[in-house]
Amino acid sequence: MMNGEPISYGANSLLSVTHLRSPPKMNHSHLLSDVMQLRQPSFVATFGQIAKEIPDAIMLSVGSPNATLFPFKEMTLTMRNGQDITVDEFMMKKCLQYGSAKGFEPLLEQLKILTKKLHEPPQWENKDIVVLAGSQMGIGLVFEMLVNPEDFVITPEPTYPGIFNALQPLPHQLVSVTCDSEGVRPDDLKDVLEKCRSSSKGKPKVMYVNPSGNNPTGVVWSESRRRLVYEIACQYDIIILEDDPYYLLEFSETLTPSFLHLDSENRVIRLDSFSKTVSAGIRLGYATGSKDLIEKLRLLMMCTINHVSLVAQYLKHESSEETNIDEELKCTAKRKT
């Protein structure tokens, strides 16, 4: 990808063929958990967002502290490339105050540009992004959003062990699918889903995948295998949870097309993380998916941490703003050597 042009997936890419067999799904309410169905937006948070648009408004219900009393006034950080990032007094007050569950708006716009360039997602106008405190948080929120007691969660075998922490409190049924050197085996996946669908207890809702540099095997799923798995997910009406923190660290000339790139039916929730490309401790990532599902994730954010640290979001935005997205991707590529 150079000069702002969309990324190339290579001359032999299977994705030059339009993948659209049926109208894209825009309502996934039938896949939500019973608890998620009952959750409603917070009146206080919603009203707080409205009040922010009113100059000099003081919202007593939100409990916003007096920004002039914050102990931190300003700061300057120096990056390894010698660039200084300064958070002045005005911006420091904004970063230390309550923010939006959606994320820091300038960073959101950057992430949308990055996602559009990297993945060229179909139905982009029907997709959205929410900033997370790392992709691990996204895994937990997605399972909470979708999984009912006795529902089936499909995973590759072996799989990333961090998902078990997220699933442990949920009385779910975990079903593993065998893999080979290209990823999950489609024949085994179909067999597993047929058995799940015929069960009298629960139903298959979501399939967790870690397709680029899979943890723990290191396998990068082939493009053709991703296409087959996506076709099966469409056939059985399940959500694909694409956890892809190593995507930009692929040791190949061209990046393998993501599940998000294939997502003509709006059934992929993609998790990206800056833990491997910026800092693990910054706890910053984001989810991309169908607008209705992203809105539900925002609702869960309001019920948990409210929003990700605005200081972390601002620093990430400023570091990318100075280098621009193309340069940032070049820097990421250098980390692979």
The per-residue pLDDT for 212 is 94
Show the tokens assigned to 190: 């179909």
The Cα–Cα gap between 124 and 264 comes to 9
Sign of CA dihedral 332, 119, 267, 105: positive
- Cα(144)–Cα(184) distance, rounded to whole angstroms? 24
- pLDDT tens for 45-99 read 667 667 667 777 766 766 788 889 999 999 999 998 898 999 999 999 999 998 8
Q: What is the pLDDT of residue 139?
A: 95
Q: Which residues of the chain have pLDDT under 50?
A: 1-21, 322-323
pLDDT given at position 202? 82
Please list, in sequence order, all residues whose beta carbon lies within 8 angstroms of the beta carbon of residue 263, skipping any fewer than 6 positions away. Answer: 121, 122, 123, 127, 230, 240
Q: How far apart are CA 147 and CA 5, in angstroms?
A: 39
Catalogue all structural domains in the chain, each as residue range(s) with its CATH number: 97-334 (3.40.640.10)
Q: What is the separation, in whole angstroms, between the first and last Cα of the chain? A: 19
Quote the pLDDT of residue 65: 86
Structure tokens at 5: 């042009």
Cα–Cα distance, 123 to 187 (Å, whole number): 29
Q: How far is CA 215 from CA 5, 69, 218, in A?
A: 31, 45, 6
pLDDT at position 4 is 42
Do 232 and 193 contact (CB within 8 A), yes or no? yes
Q: Which residues pair with 156 in a beta bridge?
A: 177
Looking at residue 17, its pLDDT comes to 34
Say if residues 229 and 170 touch (Cβ distance below 8 Å).
Answer: no
Specify the pLDDT at position 56. Answer: 73
d(CA 127, CA 266): 8
Residue reference for tokens 């607008």 = 291
Structure tokens at 233: 């997910």
Phi/psi of residue 151, each to 5°?
A: -65, 155
pLDDT at 31: 95
pLDDT of residue 61: 64
